[in-house]
Amino acid sequence: MYRQKQQRSIPLTVAAVAALVPLAAACGTEKADGGSGSVGAGKPVTGVQWSIDSVTVDGSTHKAPDSARVLIHESGEAVGSTGCNTFSARADVDGERVRLSDAMFTEKGCTDTPPAFEKSLGRALDADLTAETRGERLTLTTADGDTVELSRPKDASLHGTKWTATSADGKSRTQLTFDKEAKTVAGRLPCNHVNAKATVGDGHITLGAPATTRMMCEGSLMNAEKRILGFFEGRVDYRIDHETLTLTREDGEILRAYADR
């Protein structure tokens, strides 16, 4: 059974049990993890932000909204959105078996998200699922034969995308944009504007000394800004997974930012 944020117990067939979206990450304070997990035949399933394409229940197929996503963290947490409602849940992965439980979700009504899709998806996910990956596609199947079809969406471009990182408490926000022709990165830190040289290699970026404005803000914003500036003046590894950019310093500190559409 899935329950609402107010802790009322509600069947999983309620609309909000859909695709997953990334949580806001703390700016530069996390340690890099060990990478993606896998389900069946060694194919990665956790750590991949899958796009939900459709759900089929009792022989009826319902197309998913374009913004429906699924992401299961290797730590055992799932977070998400149907394109309308969002949720978080516990995710147990054991071999080819996947089980979502203890979900907390919203119950908004959205005109561009068909209720039949959300209801069918809820029913399909409220079961023990068998996961099968085929190249860039993933199928989740129930014992009754209901299926959820997913695919790996195209990654956002490093250059020209406005990447936004928000602290876990929501009080500080950083926005960065990489310019391919100028070989620079520029944007807004929690307090000041910044720009610097940015030379992109194969899986890494060499950042030059940052030039910033000289505004002074409250202590928490300045502390967050100092952590962000710690990623400059050196080489960082980078990875893009759909709309998530992960920068990793040599000491293991990471910064996650999301494409601002």
Distance CA 165, CA 223 (A): 15
The tens digit of pLDDT for each residue in 84-132 reads 887 778 899 988 899 988 877 688 888 778 888 888 888 888 889 999 9
Asked whether the beta carbons of 188 and 177 are under 8 A apart, the reply is no
Asked whether the beta carbons of 53 and 151 are under 8 A apart, the reply is yes
**Taking residues 158-162, what's their average pLDDT?**
96
Q: Token pair of 80, please?
A: 């998400």
CA dihedral sign of residues 201, 160, 154, 123: positive
Whether pLDDT at 158 is above 90: yes
Q: Token pair of 7, please?
A: 């802790």
Beta bridge partners of 118: none
Asked whether the beta carbons of 93 and 41 are under 8 A apart, the reply is no
Residues whose CB falls within 8 Å of the CB of residue 250, separated by 6 or more in sequence, listed in order: 234, 235, 236
The tens digit of pLDDT for each residue in 193-248 reads 999 999 999 999 999 999 999 999 999 999 999 999 999 989 999 999 878 999 99
Q: Which of 62, 61, 78 is nearest to 70 (CA)?
A: 78
Assign 43 a pLDDT band (cuts: 50, 70, 90): low
Assign 40 a pLDDT band (cuts: 50, 70, 90): very low
Residue 4: count other Cβ atoms within 10 Å of its Cβ: 16
Alpha helices (H) in 9-110, listed in sequence order: none
Place of tokens 């408490």: 169
Whether pLDDT at 24 is above 70: no
Whether pLDDT at 33 is above 50: no
How much is the mean pLDDT over the chain?
A: 82
